[in-house]
Every structure is written in structure tokens, then in C-alpha cells.
Amino acid sequence: MSNHPTSAEETCARIHAALSSLPLWRSIDAGVPSDGLYFFYENGEINLHGTGARVVRVGNHPRAVGRLGNRLRNHYSGNKNGSVFRKFLGGALIRRRNPNDPCLLPGPGRGHWERQDASTCNSCRPVEQEVSRLLREHFSFRCVKIVSRNERNRMEQALIASLASCPRCKASATWLGRCADSPRVQQSGLWNSDFVDSVPLTSSELVRFENFVES
């Protein structure tokens, strides 16, 4: 099979179509594989390929084995220093209410809420509960089992790049991510800052991904 890439729009459409056949979860379920990738969806975000919701985040457990469930739990009930996803969500919630909130100063990515390993204060500490509630009420996810760590890591990078490069499948005007501190989140329409500029899936990798979904 040729390794020549399909168009960005076709690749994105096929990713969404393949994933639409999988169970959609709103909490950590016994059916979640121990190793694989997760794909988050957000209320109000629709893909324009005719297959329903738009993927808004792709994630992995890149350095560990058998930890996909734990990674998802970190997002749902952890804290902002243990989950960059939570950090993005909380920062966007704060910024949407008040761009000059002291917890975000002196600037995007530099305030104590958005700085890695910085402690929360009395003012922003309740945002952790707000993020957990947002995830439970407005997000859902699908998972694809991929046991090989090397292949899983490459797939994560290529899938993020492929979704980010689609000229058709964009964030809605009211998407919360438009208030995120990261320009890559704002511009890609994904709650991902890493890998949005990586090499997208080749045609053979796209077929390989579809096979993972089917299996």
C-alpha cells in the first residue's frame, strides 16, 4: 500500500468515522483498556464530516504500561499539576470570567494556576472542583486499545497532527479553548499543545489505526 498521505480533510473524516463505532464513556468503566489512546469529546463541539461530535483531545500514557485508566482518573479527579488537560480547562474557565484574574498574572502561562507545580491559592483552589464537574457533565471519551508503547506514542503524535491540520473540522465560536493560555490550543481546536505540528498520519498508518479500532 502506498505511504502517500491522504488529504488532511479525508484523514480527519476517517478518524472520526472510525471512532464513531466505539462505546462512548462519561466515567472510567471496566471496559476501558489497560493500554491505549483516549479521545475526548465536548458538548457543543461537532465535526463537519457528518459523523457527530468532534474530537477535542487525544491522549496517552506514553511512559507507562497498563496505566490508561489511571491517566483518565488523573484528568477526572486529580489536580492541575498532575494533568495538563485540567490546567488548560481551569485556566480557560478563570480567563473567560476575568482575563486579569490574579491567579493568571503576570500573563498567559505564567500565573500560579497555569504554571507547572505552582500551588493553588484560596481563590483558585475551588477551580479544581469546577474542572471535575465540567469534565463529568460536558465531556465524554472513547478509547482504542494499542498495546505497543512505541506504536501508541507515534499514533498519538500523528493523530493530534492530523486532527489539527484539517481545514474543515474547526472549533465552534463559543469553544472554551479559545480562552486557553496556549496559542496552539486556541488555533488547533484541540486541548493539546504538544504534537499539533508533528507529522500527520500516512495513508498506511491511517489504515493501521482503523484496524486498531475495528479490533
Q: What is the pLDDT along the chain (215 residues), one digit of tens a residue?
A: 445 557 999 999 999 999 999 999 998 877 899 999 999 999 999 999 987 999 999 999 999 999 999 999 999 999 999 999 999 999 999 999 999 999 999 999 999 999 999 999 999 999 999 999 999 999 999 999 999 999 999 999 999 999 999 999 999 999 999 999 999 999 999 999 999 999 999 999 999 999 999 98
For 195, the domain range is: 8-83+137-214
Flag whether 29 is in a domain. yes
Secondary structure class of 45 (helix, strand, coil):
strand
Going from the C-alpha of 107 to that of each of 10, 80, 103, 192, the distances in angstroms are: 38, 18, 10, 20
pTM for the full model?
0.95
Residues in CB range of 136: below 8 A, 6 or more apart: 26, 27, 76
Flag whether 90 is in a domain. no
Flag whether 66 is in a domain. yes
Flag whether 190 is in a domain. yes
From CA 19, how far away is CA 191, in angstroms rounded? 18
Flag whether 37 is in a domain. yes
Flag whether 47 is in a domain. yes
From CA 200, how far away is CA 129, in angstroms rounded? 35
CB-CB contact of 200 with 11 (8 Å): yes
Residue 197, φ and ψ in degrees, nearest 5: -105, 15
Flag whether 23 is in a domain. yes
Flag whether 110 is in a domain. no
| 27 DSSP 8-state letter | S
Into how many domains does the chain fold?
1
| 78 DSSP 8-state letter | S
CB-CB contact of 152 with 158 (8 Å): no
Edge to edge, the sheet with strand 53-59 lists 53-59, 36-46, 139-145
